[in-house]
Amino acid sequence: MFGYVNINKPELKMKDFFKYKAYYCGLCKTLKNRYGRFGQMTLSYDMTFLIILLTSLYETETVREQDRCITHPVKKHDTLTNEITGYVADMNIALTYHHLMDDWQDEKSLAGLTGAKALQRAYRRISRKYPRQCREISESLNRLAECERQQENNIDVVSRCFGELMASLFTYREDVWENSLRKIGFYLGKFIYLLDAFDDIEKDTKSGSYNPLKTICNNETFETDCRNMLTMMMAECTREFEKLPCILDIDILRNILYEGVWTKFELINTKRNSEKGT
Amino acid sequence: MINNPYSVLGVSPSASNEEIKKAYRELSRKYHPDSYVNNPLASLAEEKFKEVQEAYDQIMKERENGYSGVGGSASDDSTEMSAVYNYLDSRRYREALDALDRVPIRSARWYYYSAVANAGVGNNIMATEHARQAVNMDPSNNEYRSLLNQIEWQSQRYQDTRYNNTGNGGYGGYGRNYGTGNLCCDLWCADSICECMGGDLIPCI
């Protein structure tokens, strides 16, 4: 997806860092085993967070294995996989499929069509297994496309489409935690959408593409305004998160939610401010 | 409602959130239906399991300093605004928003109701803007100010958790610093802060 939901490495203990990596490698391996090399290419950090969150909440039995992989062929490294890794891998493919289809429909991108075709059979199988999630992904993306067509500049209205998409991925089961998971996903999704818009604002202004932040991006306080909005999203997200009885890997989860999610934002600001300076 | 949810979990009311989570985990494992298949105690365990779940939910709800919804309705509300109030009161936020759309005059109270409805459906940016607008239009109204304080308190809580952690230079800081570990104390602090600014989080203190 975007890679915005990541860890803040310097703040993380070494053992937690290696555990995080093992979850990440576990997802990579599962994608490769289920969907081949092409599936493996869809790997992202955002989804690793979802694995750790659901594993912590449901305390799912996890298998630790030693593996070699293409990026680290010499040294063996740990992978952590469980039932949730499989679920998240499937969701990742479903998202990628829709994303590629959108690229084909919007920009007539041939790469998009080729990619979508390659995933079509896999997607059909996933949508039979998880009809609710796949339906919600498709509906949210349609609403998002509509907002973009209408040049919607109400940030809540447009970002909620992506929030709802994430909300549906986060509800692994329809049980007592559904409500909290939905909200965590919803506000994290709004956060991701906003941060992505913030990241793309210069590019979109230049190319004349839609960006929901266009109406405010020339304000003196643009950076602060965005920071405040992003903080609001994470405040609501963590407010729900803190209600869940997560104990396992809690330091990793809090590292991501309180620090890691800001890494990209700070990086963009540092880059922009140094460009302004020169 | 359980009378004393803390005793169900076997913890003191001053227990930290982390302690409550641990107690919940232990008990829900102990009474999990999967451990009582073909066991005569199955129904008893299931009852206990549900009670533990309920106690946990209740404590977490009590401890969160969230928006408590809309306050009392104003006696001078128009028919349209009373309809909005009723929707808000029964947490039908979508319908409240639709009803608000049909109100032609945007008074301070309109913004207040709109803030509550928007917060309810997850439009937290608009909720903040409208709560602020209500306060700007009628700075003497404590209800409006209290809503704005409650909304802003969430961002403050998030920021404080971040800075406390980096300030302590170590991990595990979150758990320690997520509040004082004492709900009453946290609430009292939050309430005092709000009152300083003219609002009120808990009217009875």
Same domain, B39 and B124: no
Asked, for residue B9, whether it belongs to a domain, the answer is: yes
Same domain, B14 and B109: no
Contacts of A163 in chain B (CB under 8 A): 122
Residue A78 pairs with which residues in a beta bridge? Answer: A66
Same domain, B87 and B154: yes
Same domain, B94 and B55: no
Same domain, B102 and B168: yes
Contacts of B128 in chain A (CB under 8 A): 232
What is the residue-wise DSSP string for A239-262? HHHTTS---TTHHHHHIIIIIGGG
Asked, for residue B71, whether it belongs to a domain, the answer is: no
Residue with more model confidence, B202 or A30 = A30
> Tokens in use for A70?
């293409």
Same domain, B83 and B59: no
User: Is the pLDDT confidence value at A68 over 90?
Assistant: no
Please tell me the predicted confidence (pLDDT) of residue A76.
86
Please tell me the predicted confidence (pLDDT) of residue A106.
77
Asked, for residue B72, whether it belongs to a domain, the answer is: no
Find the DSSP H helices in chain A.
14-40, 45-58, 83-107, 110-129, 131-149, 155-170, 178-207, 222-241, 250-254, 263-277
Total domains present in chain B: 2
Q: Domain with B104 in it: what CATH number? A: 1.25.40.10
Q: Residue B180 — pLDDT band, cuts 50, 70, 90?
A: very low
Interface of A with B (CB under 8 A): 11-13, 16, 59, 154-157, 160, 163, 176, 183, 186-187, 190, 228-229, 231-236, 238-239, 242-243, 245-247, 250-251, 254-255, 258-259
Residue range A235-239: mean pLDDT, rounded? 97
Same domain, B185 and B102: yes
User: Is the pLDDT confidence value at A265 over 70?
Assistant: yes
Same domain, B14 and B102: no
Out of B39, B63, B87, pick the residue that ends a domain: B63
User: B45-94 pLDDT, tens per residue?
Assistant: 999 999 999 999 999 998 886 566 677 776 677 889 999 999 999 999 99
Same domain, B36 and B125: no
Which structural domain, as residue segments, surrounds residue B168? 79-196
Asked, for residue B69, whether it belongs to a domain, the answer is: no
Residue with more model confidence, A54 or B74 = A54
Q: Domain with B41 in it: what CATH number? A: 1.10.287.110
CA-atom Rg of chain B in angstroms? 21
Partner A contacted by B18 (CB < 8 A): yes
Same domain, B118 and B146: yes
Same domain, B40 and B114: no
Question: Per the CB < 8 Å rule, is B175 touching A236?
Answer: no
Asked, for residue B73, whether it belongs to a domain, the answer is: no
Asked, for residue B203, whether it belongs to a domain, the answer is: no
User: Is the pLDDT confidence value at B185 over 90?
Assistant: no
Question: Per the CB < 8 Å rule, is B126 touching A238?
Answer: no
Q: How far is B158 from chain A (nearest CA, A)?
A: 5
Question: Per the CB < 8 Å rule, is A258 touching B161?
Answer: yes
Asked, for residue B74, whether it belongs to a domain, the answer is: no
Asked, for residue B204, whether it belongs to a domain, the answer is: no
Q: How far is A273 from chain B (nearest CA, A)?
A: 23
